[in-house]
Amino acid sequence: MPKILPYAIAAVVLVAAVVIGVQFVGDRAPAPTAEAPAPASSPATLPAVGKDERILGDPSAPVTIIEYASLTCPHCATFHTEVLPTLKKDYIDTGKVRLVYRNYPLDGVALRASALADCSGEDRFFGFLDVLFRTQPNWSRAADPVGALQAIARQGGMSAEQFAACLQDETLLDKIMGERLAGADGFGVDSTPSFIIQGRRYGALDIEGFRDILDPLTGS
């Protein structure tokens, strides 16, 4: 299990970046880089899912996918725009699988975007998430990413005062960072996207990769 100290230091730096307006790489999200999919981890105890977590699908579905994602991660955007629609149609909407979304922000811009999604409200969370991932190249690489996020918030009906209060909500920011730390400490998550399926960790998967894992679990 990874030691908690390095991640605790990372959490302090990342939250401080939001408070003083400095990210790891200045005012923009880091440029996309190619990543090899992480190997699957060994089977583990089935993870607990809280009743207040963000769940797509039937909360009582027999198979659970926990996604750890960063809103500035291009591979995460690919999953949400190209893979999730089919996964949702074939497995989530049919009641076989539930998807639990957890934050793993890679930079200060992603942390702010995560806060914005959370502030959108429980009923609109996944819709807001979809917009953020589909428009990721526009706002994450903008000269003023916070201004670009505010424009998205305004289109979603959020006032300037609500947006500012959201990004300054230290309790919310701590909660988001807590999800990242728990993923790293509990499951060894060190890249995004990472998926915990019935307690086992996987890296980026296409739809056929998901089918290979889910079909035996769901009897499909």
User: Please, which residues bridge with residue 103 across strands?
Assistant: 69
**91, two tokens:** 């497995």
Instruction: With respect to residue 45, please indicate whether it lies within any of the assigned structural domains.
Output: no
What is the number of other CB atoms lying within 10 angstroms of the CB of residue 53?
14
Give the bridge partners for 100, in sequence order.
55, 66
Q: How far apart are CA 220 and CA 96, in angstroms?
A: 9
Place of tokens 């996604």: 67
Mean of the pLDDT values across residues 16-39?
42
Q: Is residue 111 part of a domain?
A: yes
Across the chain, mean pLDDT equals 86
In a domain, 143, yes or no: yes
Q: Tell me, what's the pLDDT at 40?
A: 53
Domain housing 128: 4-25+56-65+79-205
Q: CATH number of the domain that 88 lies in? A: 3.40.30.10
Averaged over 161-174, what is the pLDDT? 98
Bond into 39 cis (ω within 30) = no
- Scored b (16 or more CB within 10 A) or e, 144-173 reads ebbebbbbbbeebebeeeebeebbeeeebb
pTM of the model: 0.82
> Does residue 43 belong to any structural domain of this protein?
no
Per residue in 44-72, pLDDT tens?
467 788 888 999 999 999 999 999 999 99
Residue 169 lies in a domain: yes
pLDDT in tens, 101-143: 999 999 999 999 999 999 999 999 999 999 999 999 999 999 9
Asked whether residue 168 is domain-assigned, the answer is: yes
First-to-last C-alpha distance (Å) of the chain = 34
Does any domain span residue 51?
no
Asked if the structure places residue 220 within a domain, the reply is no
Tokens encoding 127: 């819709």
DSSP collapsed to 3 states, 38-79: CCCCCCCCCCCCCCCCEEECCCCCCEEEEEEECCCCHHHHHH
CA 15 to chain centre: 17
Per the structure, the count of domains in the chain is 1
Distance (Å, whole) CA 128 – CA 132: 6
Q: What is the pLDDT of residues 13-26, one digit of tens each?
A: 444 443 433 333 33
The residue type at 13: V
pLDDT at 10 over 60: no
Torsion of CA 114, 48, 211, 58, to 10 degrees: -80
